[in-house]
Amino acid sequence: MSLAVKRQEKIHLDRIVEHFALTAGYKKLTDKLEDTSANDITVTGLAGSSQAILLSNLCRTIGRPIIAVTAGDDEANDLYDDLVFLVGDKIVGHFPARLSPPYEFRSPTAEIIGRRLSTLARLKNGDVNIIVAPIGALIEPTITLENFENSSLHLRTGEEIEINTLTMKLAKMGFRRVPLVEEVGDFALRGGLIDFFSPGFDYPIRVEFFDDEIDTIRQFEVATQRTTERLNNVNLLPRREVSVTPDTV
């Protein structure tokens, strides 16, 4: 598909979204939302992707964060995909359920934990306007804001930090030391280099030290070890929502 065709399709899609905002039903809804005396408001007749169109317009109109709660994970995945298609992934977050029932001592997948923690970080920083979550995700406890801040780490080039201090911090955050980083939650130390794969990232990170100063921060591919992007700073998210320390145990 050519770039011109994609641009034309985007123009048509934007027009559909704009026309939706001009309908009498949408105007009636926004009037009720502005009425502070209004309690529960029910909207019916939304089929297919019209739910995502409604939410994308509300995001622009009301100017405050929205959480869209679905009955199950499949509905949440579909709604999230529709919203990303309409408004992009920069302002939409996905908070999936862990999919590990209580007392079945199974850990959620690294992808699920990474997405949950990444969405929480974006919400804390004010970088997300709509969060899509199934009801199962909302009834599960998650990390507190205090623990989240204490379990996160911000690194930037030019900063001074002892490499052993960073190693201990990664271990405390739940990262697993390995000879070679391959999966989310791994970290490896080789001389003045430290690699780690933080939740919420598509690629692992390599930090190169000059004495105790961070010289470079790079993303790299696992298979080829080639650099994909150079970074000025990076936020490390904890590997788990519940830290496993002697105190918490």
For residues 123 and 85, what is the distance between their CA atoms, to the nearest angstrom? Answer: 20
Could you identify the residue written with the tokens 């065709």?
5
Compute the mean pLDDT over every residue in the chain, rounded to the nearest whole number.
Answer: 84
Q: Kindly report the CATH class assigned to 152-236.
A: alpha beta
Comma-separated ranges of CATH 3.30.2060.10 domains in the chain: 152-236
Rg of the chain, C-alpha, whole Å: 22
> Any residues with CB less than 8 A from the CB of 161 and at least 6 apart, and which?
155, 212, 214
What topology is assigned to 3-142 in CATH? Rossmann fold (3.40.50)
pLDDT tens column, 82-111: 999 888 888 999 999 987 765 566 667 777
User: Does the structure show a pLDDT above 80 at 50?
Assistant: yes
Comma-separated ranges of CATH 3.40.50.11180 domains in the chain: 3-142
Q: What is the pLDDT of residue 245?
A: 60
Residue 130, classified by CB atoms within 10 Å of its CB into exposed (0-12), middle (13-18) or buried (19+), is buried
pTM exceeds cut of 0.85: no
